[in-house]
Structure 1
């Protein structure tokens, strides 16, 4: 792994994603921690994502010459030094002030992608300036279609090459932790929230100094925002996909796909890649684990169509497992928010190094030298994905 020497983490407290979460929880108000870690309903889907990863085992191999190993890969025409990146997440600066800038600096320093959410607390233009070619933009279609297309135009004008259309949030789900905590955007401070902030003074004072985060891509003249977190996002339909494909000249990626039928239809519609995800369990609590959907979608779209994956990834071995089950690239969300919440930019750098080291060690243990050679063959016999008969193309019309 190569990186700018200035990005050394020097963290003596973060050795795993669990460490990052534990340390972040100490510094953050409960309201903020629960917003990050929480999920839909009883949070079964979020737990299922992780337990299904734990059930997947890799087959160790011995006596291979694995002294030299590479984690470099290519995705959608761009070379990356690592096979993972930072997923799109709304209001990252809630985790810790300056989170978006820390992510951007790490993305450039380690040459990985960072995806800016429509609901980010930094603007489209700011992130492109900070992360340059490593910046991607993620689009929600909430409210008027023309509002969404204006965001697309801004991203195109700023020079983004990769656009992610998230399609698994027709409506934001009920997240019980947020409801209990009275979480709203923008913040409404009652007695409970005031006490929560007051008992976490480092976060509160730093946030006060930097300014309260807000959805910056929706700011209006004179102050305020036209962002509505609870608004329907069902405008991301098949007709909109056709229109977006005509307008967007760069790579178009559809995120939130777990159905083989949907994947085939998206592929036929001309999307450049599919992002397999169940939104980290934050949408449908009864959804299948995303890792279980991945090999089925790989079989449905064929061996060469680009697939990106997230949901439940917590360490470097999980990254290798996802690649073995059909992903070309892996994204992580919550772990990066925990890392920045724990130790700011230093925490982000620590997490990247931990993930990269563990992924490289997993290559060594399975007898591989190059992450691009990861295949189902490294899975323990009997765990290779079941080949399913692809649906006929007219089955999803």
Structure 2
């Protein structure tokens, strides 16, 4: 394991690419179409500059934040990611332990490799359940009932996948869940024996939340039947915090606020769905202007550093989430790699705060040169 070699998210990705089967790496890393959507968002992040300030006492800095009235030790959490155990055995539980340590939300995907009940237990309550509408939504509402029974207080409804986006890198490898092992996949796994042997020893990754009566999940099944009426039914059913994830249109955001949604999550699903979608980062200022200063706006997509996190907070987000780079860290260095990258992200944020004259995050939103 190479946790000590991780000094940036780019290091974690480089090591993960070497160790993971090509099929698994491209599943985690890939984006829709020709991947111009991911590049466009990265360009927007790179173009956004912060305002360096000098001669301010920033010797004591706090990375703490609050979210839905709960204190967190960081202004960033763990985005929901499907099949995390492909990156490393028991990755879901590594993320849950990280969430417990830093009191930050762990987004538990509908297609997690570990049952939702086990994850929230290990996360000591610091977990949110992410829901996909699917089919006629009867199975989706069964999952909501399970989440409520397990003690989840926040439900994240992902709405930007009416149909699963075409990701050519996955298609070229014949990626399917559960795995379909043909000659190409066999060769891929054989050329990556460390991953293959450790994964075999831990048991084949499954979509654990669907091992229940009356539910048969198909990852590629159409989710196109969900409507505003479906959301209204869910709002009536769910008494906890309701977040809608995958919002990129200001008009939709305003309508969601009016519909009683507690927060929106500005996201392009990591650019994995609609290649021609606008940069989620570039939409943040307009979202903030339309929704007012007090409505919670969460953000994910394309963040690669603590400095990126500060940019998103400055541009209008209240809280942000890291995704695939955490999987790369676990692939590169296991649980030690995950904690090393988390320390890197925290250090990057703290240094950026010092450079911009911030002692805490209450003043984020006033430090850009944009």
Aligned structure 1 segments of 4 or more residues deviating by more than 4 angstroms: none
Tell me how far apart the structure 1 counterparts of residues 15 and 88 of structure 2 sit (CA, whole Å).
12
Equivalent residue number for residue 389 of structure 1: none
Unaligned 5+ segments in structure 2 are: none
Matched, 1:319 2:281: no
User: 1:252 is paired with a residue of what secondary structure?
Assistant: strand
Q: How far apart in 2 are the matches of 1:327 and 1:284?
A: 22
8 A Cα contact 1:140 1:236, kept in partner: no
Aligned CA distance change for structure 1 residues 239 and 81 (closer, same or farther; 3 Å) = same
Matching residue within 346, 350, 367 for 1:378: 367
Using the alignment, how far apart are the partners of 2:276 and 2:108 within structure 1?
A: 27
What is the alpha-carbon distance in structure 2 between the residues aligned to residue 81 and residue 290 of structure 1? 25
Which of 164, 178, 198 is matched with 1:186 structurally?
178
Matches within 5 A, 1:64-75: 64-75=56-67
Report if the CA contact (8 A) 1:93-1:213 is conserved.
yes
Deviations 1:96-148 (A, max 9, x none): 11100100011111221111000111111111111122111000011232111
Unaligned runs of 5+ in 1: 1-8, 384-397
1:48 Cα offset (Å): 1.4
**Pairing 1:339–2:329 present:** yes
Q: Deviations over 1:149-208 (max 9, x none)?
A: 100000001000110000000000111001100101111111110000001011100110
Following the alignment from structure 1 to structure 2, what is the Cα–Cα distance between the partners of residues 34 and 237?
Answer: 32
Q: Please say if residues 4 and 340 of structure 2, whose CA atoms lie closer than 8 Å, have aligned partners that are also in contact.
A: no
Superposition TM-score, scaled by structure 1 size: 0.91
Alpha-carbon separation, structure 2, partners of 1:90 and 1:181: 18
1:281 aligned partner: 271
SS in structure 2 at match of 1:195? helix
**SS of aligned partner of 2:74:** coil
Match for residue 348 of structure 1 among 306, 328, 338: 338
Q: What does residue 100 of structure 1 align with?
A: 92
Q: How many residues align?
A: 370
2:291 is aligned with 1:301 = yes
Alpha-carbon shift at residue 225 of structure 1 (Å) = 7.8
Distance across 2 between alignment mates of 1:225 and 1:11:
39
Q: Give the whole-Å Cα distance in 1 for the aligned partners of 2:215 and 2:289.
A: 43
Q: Contact conserved, 2:232 with 2:259, CA < 8 A, in 1?
A: yes
CA–CA distance in 1 between the matches of 2:342 and 2:225? 35
Q: How far does residue 294 in structure 1 lie from its aligned partner after superposition?
A: 1.0
SS at structure 2 position matched to 1:133:
coil
Asked if 1:35 corresponds to 2:27, the answer is yes
| Alignment counterpart, residue 233 of structure 1, candidates 223, 230, 234 | 223
Contact 2:3-2:334 at 8 Å conserved across structures? no
RMSD: 1.4
The structural deviation recorded for 1:220 is 4.7
What residue in structure 2 maps to residue 211 of structure 1? 203
